[in-house]
Amino acid sequence: MSSPTRTTVPASARFARLPSLTGMRFFAAFLVFLFHSTLPPYTPFTGGSAESVTTVVSKAGWLGVGFFFVLSGFVLTWSARPGDKPRQFLRRRIVKIYPNHVVTFVIAMVLFAWATNTWKQGLPNFFLLHTWIPDPKTFQSVNPPSWSLSVEIIFYLCFPWLHRAIQRIRPERLWMWVGVLAAFVILVPAIAYAALPDTPTMPLGFKTSVLQYWFVWQLPPFRIAEFAVGILMARIVMTGRWINFPVVPALLLVAVAYVAELLWVPWLFGMSAVTLVPIALLIAAMATTDISGGRSILRNRVCVWLGEISFAFYLVHDITVHVFVDRFDLSPVHSFPVAAGLLALEVAISVFFSWLLYISVERPMMNRFGRTRPPLPAGTATGTGGTEPGSKPAEAARAS
């Protein structure tokens, strides 16, 4: 039997930009927006329409977050440079996420969060420690999507060690470790169902208890497995162990896994366990498409620009949704077209303010404090188009 066809990545391509991955980020962030904007009481739809829309996008937030966690490991590995010190790396990552977090924290607090959050809930949020506390009023406090930044900080602290450890794995064993970590991600909800109480239940109609939800979805040590899968997938591509799996079948596999989450999979297993491997395959397939110069609609200027502002969009969109509902009382409405138009308006406003946040806070801070990167090795190609992952704007955006 002949061996499978593999993509070999030349050394000169290993620091190339991957604009399609940048372009994918906004679509993942948009899934998170759909999830948040259609949850009761924030959905603009009513009656049967509300129930149908909420059901269809009820796992979209999980899919978007899972994508970002795997992508984060992939792009940080892809863009890692020899001689990059952990302290420099951590400083760049903090400069990337913390200024945006502080600005959106203050905006959310001024606009609405002051009325429902105590200082004991808001203070851990401000310092990105809130996901460690198993209380919905704390880990969903102020600007709820910020919980994932608390997880990302742990990723960044662990990355230098994880990266070194995974670099020591022999290339022929990388796929095996992807399987091991995927099995671990499946094991976590099984442990939660078996060992943790099923009451009190989570708010917003989530079919799980508070402790089960926190254990599976919020606790950083268990989310590191998804981040590590991203690191492994980058190593698989870089070492020529990637088996050419086309983008379209990978995308279809993600869709099938999502439908399985909606229809057949127990609730906790439907958060990330089912979609992890399809997401990993899709990210690697998209990356190798860019490396080989294959056709990709995600490399156009609009998609790349949206990807660049997607982190800001992720932090801004839920504020927009809250303001629409709490301040202007624009939800719910009774006509499906009007409700859909309201969502489109929320997206447009979120994109506009995301762009403002990006050009006034994120990009200036990265330009001023986030560019202490060692020079590339002599003769290394930097690629063309898009944005370099892990450098200024192409590192993974966050989702909730």
| Residue keyed to tokens 């022929």 | 172
Residue 261: Cβ within 10 Å count:
23
Exposure pattern of 120-142 as b/e (b: 16+ CB <10 Å)? ebbebbbebebbbbeebebbbbb
pLDDT, tens only, 292-339:
888 888 989 999 999 999 999 999 999 999 888 877 766 677 788 888
- Nearest Cα residue to 151 out of 236, 80, 73: 73
What's the token pair of residue 245?
């799996």
Domain limits, the chain? 10-369
pLDDT, tens only, 259-279:
999 999 999 999 999 999 999
Catalogue the long-range contacts made by 216-219 (C-beta closer than 8 Å, 24 or more residues apart).
216/188, 216/189, 216/192, 216/268, 216/271, 217/62, 217/271, 217/272, 218/131, 218/134, 218/139, 218/147, 218/151, 219/131, 219/132
Asked whether 141 and 322 are in contact (CB, 8 A), the reply is no
pLDDT, tens only, 66-125:
999 999 999 999 988 777 788 888 888 999 999 999 999 999 999 988 888 899 999 999
pLDDT, tens only, 120-146:
999 999 999 999 999 999 999 999 999
What is the pTM (predicted TM-score) of this model?
0.88
What's the token pair of residue 362?
């994120």
What's the token pair of residue 24?
């994918």
pLDDT of amino acid 369: 81
Taking the C-alpha atoms of residue 21 and residue 387, their distance in angstroms, rounded to an integer, is: 9
Residue 102 Cα distances to 33, 60, 106, 147, 149, angstroms: 20, 26, 6, 13, 12
Can you point out the beta strands (E) in the chain? Answer: 6-7, 242-243
| Residue keyed to tokens 């239940």 | 201
| Residue keyed to tokens 């209380």 | 135
Average pLDDT over the chain reads 86
